[in-house]
Structure 1
Amino acid sequence: MGKLTSTIFVTLDGVYQAPGGPQEDTRGGFTHGGWSFTYGDEDFGRFVGEVFRRAGAFLLGRRTYDIFAGYWPGMTDPADPIAGPLNALPKYVPSSTLTDPAWNGTTVLGGDLAKEVAAVKERTDGELQLHGSGALLRSLLELGLVDTVHLITFPVVLGTGLRLFPEGTAPMAFRHTGGRITSAGVSIQSYDRAGRPEYGDYSAPDAS
């Protein structure tokens, strides 16, 4: 059985929208696309390479799939650490509108999200990797299907844009499993799901 992992880029104020380019995702009149670009140093590239080497299959939201499918099939070097796995390994897209995907190795998941993703995890060797796809990540976290989140936080505040965890997100707790800081100041932290939050009271007397 595979492990479902998520790798997602966010700003200090929690925005995940359009990290890769100005036209990547302009929903809501978003004008800050490409905010991660200047932080892509060797440390960051090393981490990304490590992630893709562990991939057994990919799970992508429809918007992220369209962005990836518009670029990576044209990168034909099988030795490329990102293009190689993306083009060669199975790709799964939960969607009710994608009917005839052109990218080789793509399967559309059109039924019950929980059952279909659980079945894909069961038959995947290695990691079933979710990249970007913030709305899908939230849904899968609430369903209890995500094992690990790699939260990549960039030292920038935008003030507008889609937040990874907006108001109304279901409460959940995580356990920190590792991390590093790149030379450009990007915080790469890994978390495993740890059930629901626990609560206490700092003003309560010490029971010991």
Structure 2
Amino acid sequence: MSNANGRISVVNFVSLDGVIQSPLAPDEDSDGGFAHGGWVPPYSDDTVNAFMQEATVSAAGMLLGRRSYEILATAWSGADESEPAVAAMNRMPKHVVSSKLREPSWQNTSVITGDLTSAVTGLMARTEGDLVVFGSGTLVRGLAEHDLVDDYRLLLFPLVLGAGKRMFDESGQLSRFSLADSVATSSGVVLLTYDRDR
């Protein structure tokens, strides 16, 4: 399915065994019983940080699941905007796919309910540029199932976590992507960009 204007770009930290859970802080997903939270910071060199800053600053907006939205809102809403990525996140439109979120507290946030495919395709038709998806495993699986992802920008970390929430499950459909860019960092992280073959 092609988006006439906007694009959906999934940007995620991923372990070698596909885990995306609790990458930044040990306690950010404490209700899930995940034992290895906070696995990204030890590997975050200048190249990793620049990759994430560019993905954030260049985005037209964010498309998020409720849980990832709440984590990001807690961390960055009202934070010091001297960092370009923080200023960009506070400024840009944020669209949250949720049946539970009623009154979002983070500025410039709207809630998406109802049919995912029609809601997202409508949103993309009104968007110029990339809507980035951070984390949001359930949302990513739903987008992939309906072939709505235009590119994956994955930061592949050199560790196996053994358990945790993964970006993909057994649902979805066959979708082919081409490797657009790859960079190996000094810390062993590989930055991979895959574009959808359409």
> Which is further off, 23-32 or 7-16?
23-32
The normalised TM-score by structure 2 is 0.92
Does the 8 A contact of 2:141 with 2:169 survive in 1?
Answer: no
**3-state SS of 1:55 partner:** coil
After superposition, give the CA deviation of every residue in 1:1-50 in whole Å (9 maximum; x if it has no partner). Answer: 11111101110111111101111113552110001110111111111121
Runs ≥4 in structure 1, deviation > 4 angstroms? none
Is 1:192 aligned to 2:195, yes or no? Answer: yes
After superposition, give the CA deviation of every residue in 1:104-145 in whole Å (9 maximum; x if it has no partner). Answer: 100000121111111111111221111111221111011111
Does the 8 A contact of 2:144 with 2:172 survive in 1?
Answer: no
**In the alignment, which of 38, 41, 56 is matched to residue 42 of structure 2?**
38
The normalised TM-score by structure 1 is 0.88
| 1:46-195 equivalent positions in 2, closer than 5 A | 46-77=50-81, 79-194=82-197
For the residues of structure 2 that align with 1:186 and 1:44, how far apart are their CA atoms? 8
Does the 8 A contact of 2:12 with 2:153 survive in 1?
Answer: yes
Is 1:20 aligned to 2:24, yes or no? Answer: yes
**3-state SS of 1:162 partner:** coil
After superposition, give the CA deviation of every residue in 1:57-100 in whole Å (9 maximum; x if it has no partner). Answer: 110111100001111012132x4221111100100001010001
Alignment size in residue pairs: 194
Structure whose CA Rg is larger? 1
For the residues of structure 1 that align with 2:101 and 2:16, how far apart are their CA atoms? 33
RMSD between aligned alpha carbons? 1.5
Distance 1:86 1:28, change over 3 A: closer
For structure 1, the residue ranges without an aligned partner over 5 or more in a row are 196-208
**3-state SS of 1:139 partner:** helix
> Which is further off, 171-180 or 123-132?
171-180
> Which is further off, 160-169 or 148-157?
160-169
For the residues of structure 2 that align with 1:29 and 1:52, how far apart are their CA atoms? 29
Distance 1:83 1:28, change over 3 A: closer
Does the 8 A contact of 1:60 with 1:130 survive in 2?
Answer: yes
For the residues of structure 1 that align with 2:107 and 2:166, how far apart are their CA atoms? 31
**Alignment identity in percent?**
42
1:64 maps to a residue whose letter is S
For structure 2, the residue ranges without an aligned partner over 5 or more in a row are none
